[in-house]
Structure 1
Amino acid sequence: MATSLPKLTRDAELETLSSRAAENVRDPDHWAPLLKALSNPWSRTNTTGTIILGIAENTLMHQELAEHITSHFTVSPPEHLTYGNGPQGSPRLRKALASFFNARFEPLQQTKAEEFIVTAGVSAVIDELTWCLCSEGEGILFPRPLYTGFRNDLPIRSRGKVVPVSFRREDGGVVLDDLFDAEANLRCLERGLSEAEKEGTKIKAVMITNPHNPLGKCYPPATIKAIASFCAKHNLHYLSDEIYAMSTWRNPNFPDATHFHSVLSVELSHIIRPEMVHVLYGAAKDFCANGLRLGVLHTRSETLRRAMITIATFAWEAYLIQDCWARILEDDKWLKQFLTESQKRLSTNYGTLTSFLDQHSIPYYKGGNAAIFLWVDLRRWKTEDAITEECLKAGVMVAKGTNFVPEELGWFRLTFSTQKEVLEEGLRRLTESLKKFDG
């Protein structure tokens, strides 16, 4: 009987891969801790399961969305079971997106269907944008704290570099409101660009999340103009991730909080060329549909669109799924009711979370009126790792601030866009975990 060959060691097996694949394998697994928590979620019939407050997922309108998709789902063989019109996106969806943007984002110049490219999620948009804008090792500036997914989306395949921009003041202090201040952005972006160039990193763009992730606030027009002027001065692309654009509400405790302004709605024609301004959007957050994997880029640059189409095959979303979203966008009456109710429920849950934190003297970043999470200050307790571990033991998953490249350690991002009973039980488990560190 023939003897089986010995199994390769991990290092030997890595040598059979490309250098980039081997590097990805050596890096910490981005999904491992999430998959472990997601494998045993809490429910009424599984009360010992894990409550997820650490992932930016909005479940508040799942039932309404599922009912609409189920009752309107159709399959048209010529349109849905062939290559259709290619990887740029379903003509029906791109037309619906143009109408949606024109109605909801209030662009100064009307958007057109041909200006949109559809992909399998916003992560795919970021990957394709990075590939098109950055050669290997070139970077994009991000004000910090920043959305943790960028640290995976830019380098993992396209080999772009995330370059965090510090907003720390000259006296060493950190004021989170500075991220939304025009003068602070000009000062800090200039400093960040200079430091990156000194380290040998060529910068190709600035990306912001508006509304901001993880701070949950919107950028005022004056700051959007300041960022645009910085980009124009240095011939950089302005990338505006607006995936939470419709997840905004009025905060009764801060009625003057800046409401959402798309970069498309701000007068920038005298500041930056429109071909250098690009908007990212998707169905995941505002439409409570992370699992549909629908992302979109709006750009007025024909050259960038052509470049992205050359690689769009690798993130080509099924036309069946694209037209599910198109039907939702076309149903004006239902869409208005859906977004209004979603915003109402987000506002209610935001109030539930902030009231709970106030009652337990847990500080947080105040003044939010957007997105589906809150930036919470747990610095007076133990280290982030200790708190995270204790919370998992208690059956609640939270997102530690380190993942968001903050200026100060000890902050956490808590998601509140889940059912009330789930949120309340998660908060109970959180406070029980924190009590372990008191005294």
Structure 2
Amino acid sequence: MTPVSQHELLVTSGVAALIDTSTWCICDDSDGIVIPQPLYVGFEIDIQMRSRGQLLPVSFLESDRKYSIDHAFEPEANRRAFERAYAENTAKGIKMRAVILSNPHNPLGKCYQFISALSIDLEGIIDVSRVHIMYGMSKDFCANGLRLGVLQTRNEDLLEAVASINNAAFYLWVRLIPSRLIDIDDPSTPSLDVKRMKKLFVDTCTRNGVSIKDGANYFAEEPEDGWFRVTFTVPNAVLEVAMERIAKSLEDLGWLGMF
């Protein structure tokens, strides 16, 4: 068993938030996450609401075998159920990105095992960078209102990605369309040209590998409508790269020298 390092841990506001942000990081729209049935109804919300992942329930019903809830805890029944789910969903063109196992099982309340997944030798079974453990304190302490969760993973890319969208952030409100490009006929309404320019800038930033938020998403009242929100709660090295990419986007559009 490899000891857990503090650098493999991320504290969050509960496991629900972790499932949401992890889905956001690993799934494209409609990519699937498989979970054995019966399953906690909150998983559907966590997976689909923001990230637009797809919940894929795993059925234990078999035509040649009488169904029992206990099948959910039998290794061989699980193997058959997951193989069926994989075959059926692959045939539909659905990409499956992850499997969620809730332990204790929710809603059955029974444990798969009493040892940590971290104590299992995964050599030859699965790359350890693909195994992620989410721990919530609310169940241990019978306090569902205690929104405190922990992600343990040896996947540095996932850890950084989840951290970048999970924590509270500092941000700036900045205008990134040069004022000389803005022509306002009606001072109370942004022109369609400005809206097109903002979309052009957002798309250019996306191509250059940086995400920026249009101020219109925040009900901006400024008639120029050239405002954006820039979040900078990231390590300095990441921030410097982001600023370089924003500058490149402005340069690509010929706007950099207009401020």
> What TM-score results when the alignment is normalised by the length of structure 1?
0.37
Is 1:132 aligned to 2:25, yes or no? yes
1:181 deviation in Å?
A: 1.2
Q: Deviations over 1:169-199 (max 9, x none)?
A: 2226311111111111111101101111222
CA contact (8 A) 1:125 1:295 kept: yes
Aligned twin of 1:113: 6
Secondary structure of the structure 1 residue equivalent to 2:80: helix
Aligned twin of 1:284: 138
1:270 deviation in Å?
A: 2.7
Compared with structure 1, are the counterparts of its residues 150 and 140 closer, same or farther at alpha carbon in structure 2 (3 Å cutoff)?
Answer: same
Aligned twin of 2:53: 160
Is 1:301 aligned to 2:194, yes or no? no
Q: Give distance in 1, aligned partners of 2:168 and 2:92.
A: 33
Unmatched segments (≥5 aa) in structure 1: 1-107, 221-259, 317-439
CA contact (8 A) 2:59 2:85 kept: yes
Q: Deviations over 1:62-96 (max 9, x none)?
A: xxxxxxxxxxxxxxxxxxxxxxxxxxxxxxxxxxx
Q: Relative contact order (C-alpha < 8 Å, sep 6+): which is higher?
A: 1
Q: Give distance in 1, aligned partners of 2:32 and 2:38.
A: 17
Secondary structure of the structure 1 residue equivalent to 2:115: coil
Is 1:218 aligned to 2:111, yes or no? yes
Aligned twin of 1:94: none
Aligned twin of 1:196: 89
Is 1:274 aligned to 2:117, yes or no? no
Is 1:207 aligned to 2:100, yes or no? yes
Aligned twin of 1:173: 66
Q: Give distance in 1, aligned partners of 2:12 and 2:169.
A: 5
1:281 deviation in Å?
A: 0.7
Match 1:183 to one of 66, 76, 83: 76
CA contact (8 A) 1:124 1:315 kept: no
Kindly report which structure 2 residues correspond to 1:22-421, keeping only aligned pairs within 5 A, or say none. 108-171=1-64, 173-220=66-113, 260-313=114-167
Compared with structure 1, are the counterparts of its residues 295 and 186 closer, same or farther at alpha carbon in structure 2 (3 Å cutoff)?
Answer: same
Compared with structure 1, are the counterparts of its residues 211 and 315 closer, same or farther at alpha carbon in structure 2 (3 Å cutoff)?
Answer: farther
1:314 deviation in Å?
A: 5.4
1:297 deviation in Å?
A: 0.8
CA contact (8 A) 1:120 1:315 kept: no
Q: Deviations over 1:363-387 (max 9, x none)?
A: xxxxxxxxxxxxxxxxxxxxxxxxx
1:115 deviation in Å?
A: 0.6
Aligned twin of 2:190: none
CA contact (8 A) 1:122 1:296 kept: yes
CA contact (8 A) 2:36 2:59 kept: yes
Q: Give distance in 2, aligned partners of 1:217 and 1:265.
A: 20
1:309 deviation in Å?
A: 1.8
> What TM-score results when the alignment is normalised by the length of structure 2?
0.62
Aligned twin of 2:229: none
Q: Give distance in 2, aligned partners of 1:219 and 1:293.
A: 24
Compared with structure 1, are the counterparts of its residues 127 and 162 closer, same or farther at alpha carbon in structure 2 (3 Å cutoff)?
Answer: same
Q: Deviations over 1:1-40 (max 9, x none)?
A: xxxxxxxxxxxxxxxxxxxxxxxxxxxxxxxxxxxxxxxx
Q: Give distance in 2, aligned partners of 1:175 and 1:293.
A: 34
Task: Percent identity, please.
Answer: 49
Q: Give distance in 2, aligned partners of 1:208 and 1:272.
A: 15
CA contact (8 A) 2:12 2:167 kept: no
Residues matched between the structures, number? 170
- Whichever residue aligns with residue 130 of structure 2, its letter is M
Q: Give distance in 1, aligned partners of 2:150 and 2:168.
A: 14
Q: Give distance in 1, aligned partners of 2:6 and 2:64.
A: 49
Q: Deviations over 1:128-180 (max 9, x none)?
A: 11011111110101110011110111001111111001101222631111111
- Whichever residue aligns with residue 148 of structure 1, its letter is V
CA contact (8 A) 1:219 1:261 kept: no
Aligned twin of 1:437: none
Root-mean-square deviation (CA, aligned residues, Å) is 1.8
Q: Deviations over 1:259-279 (max 9, x none)?
A: x12211222123111101111
Q: Give distance in 2, aligned partners of 1:314 and 1:154.
A: 21
Tell which structure's C-alpha radius of gyration is larger: 2
